[in-house]
Structure 1
Amino acid sequence: MINHLIRQNRETQALLGGFAGQTLSLHAAGMQIRGTFNAEGFLEYTPDAADTEIRFLPGAVEKVLQGQTPGVGDVSISGDTGLGTALLPLIGGLRYHANDDLSRLLGDAAAGSIAVRTEKAARTVKQIGLSILEQLSDFAKEPEAPVADRHALSAWAREIDALRDDTARFEARLAKLEAQSKG
């Protein structure tokens, strides 16, 4: 899995090749990966002790999933800290490119169409969320506005989730109808 990410990030792969012979132990989201970098920048499994260990704490994973950058306190490095410090931005900068896999599996045209629809659905959901936040803000500024309690906010969050899911189902139906009309 990590080598798939490395393969999708060619510039990072080339830089990781410079660490050939160095062993890394990586801990993130309950997974542990240990390997020695080869000259091509890929990790090859080894049972040997790691030269450096990078551990992404749970807060780091949550921040990444929310589109935020983890802070210094979200990562720990042990062993050869110089090596870990050099590898951290490279490993942390690996990005998954779903379009590459979709193109390989479905072809460029289908992958492009899926990507466009996905981006459109994401923008729609984001706009809906921003609109709701604006309405909440305007409502809270009213002098007679009641203070929302935890239960009211939870109910609203569930409604927003349902709206997001409905939008996703609508996009899927639209894509299915589009595919049927072409076929």
Structure 2
Amino acid sequence: MLATAALRILNHLIGHTPGAAARLARHQGARARLSAGGLAVDFRIDGDGRFVAADDGTPQVILSLQADALFRQAYEAGALTRGARIEGDAALAESLGQVLKTLRWDAAEDLSRVVGDPLAERMVGTASQVAAGVRDLGGRMASALGEYAADEAGLLLRPSALSTFSDRVDTLRDDLARLEKRISRLERR
């Protein structure tokens, strides 16, 4: 069931990516395995350049993706293939890799079929602003937490404080070494 859903999503994205289906159609009949996390999907490429579930046969290419790659691809270009491992037929692997890198979801296009163009654009714009706001808020919170931990709570050291401390330790070590030599000379007399 998850495998079918994953292939549907990928085929949908292929349909919205210019040239992707044509590039894949050159490999009609080729078999591949796509694995992400605990999910593995065996598929073949049909004459239209789409993925069709295939339970039989040995895959010519195995693509191992990060567990959340399919979901991150919706909002982050190239997320699908970042950190991927590809094994097998080099030409097929190169075509699959290029197509998977260029897949991007056009949420406004899909929403416009349901709610119309103006509302879809507004919804996607609002969602983008909310996502940017959440990222900004997360960055500010992390910065504030770091400052609190370093300045107020004394849990962390700033790099400048660590450098100063290190310099002082070095000076103390050198002074101690000179003092030991002096004591040694005095004891010899």
TM-score scaled by structure 2? 0.60
Cα distance change of structure 1 residues 76 and 119 upon mapping to structure 2, 3 Å threshold: closer
Q: Which residue of 2 aligns with 1:135?
A: 144
- Could you tell me which runs of 5 or more consecutive residues in structure 1 were left unpaired when the two chains were aligned: 149-183
In structure 2, which of residues 6, 12, 17 is the aligned counterpart of residue 4 of structure 1?
12
Q: Which residue of 2 aligns with 1:181?
A: none
Q: Which residue of 2 aligns with 1:23?
A: 31
1:111 CA displacement: 0.5
Contact 1:77 1:85 (C-alpha < 8 Å) held by counterparts: no
Q: Which residue of 2 aligns with 1:152?
A: none
Inter-partner Cα distance in structure 1 for 2:25 and 2:150: 57
Residues 1:61 and 2:69 are matched in the alignment: yes
Inter-partner Cα distance in structure 1 for 2:137 and 2:91: 46
Q: Which residue of 2 aligns with 1:145?
A: 153
1:19 CA displacement: 1.7
Q: Which residue of 2 aligns with 1:156?
A: none
Local SS of the residue matching 2:19:
helix
Residue-by-residue CA offset, 1:13-57 (whole Å, 9 max, x unaligned): 222122222122212243333332223211233333122222224
Local SS of the residue matching 1:25:
strand
Equivalent positions of 1:30-179 (< 5 A) are 30-49=38-57, 50-58=59-67, 61=69, 64=72, 74-142=83-151, 144-147=152-155
Inter-partner Cα distance in structure 1 for 2:70 and 2:105: 17
Q: May I ask how many residue pairs the two structures share in their alignment?
A: 145
Q: Which residue of 1 aligns with 2:3?
A: none
Inter-partner Cα distance in structure 1 for 2:117 and 2:132: 22
Report sequence identity in percent.
Answer: 23
Inter-partner Cα distance in structure 2 for 1:55 and 1:119: 29
Residue type at the aligned position of 2:20: T
Residue-by-residue CA offset, 1:124-183 (whole Å, 9 max, x unaligned): 2222222222322333442x53328xxxxxxxxxxxxxxxxxxxxxxxxxxxxxxxxxxx
CA RMSD of aligned residues (A): 3.2
TM-score scaled by structure 1? 0.62
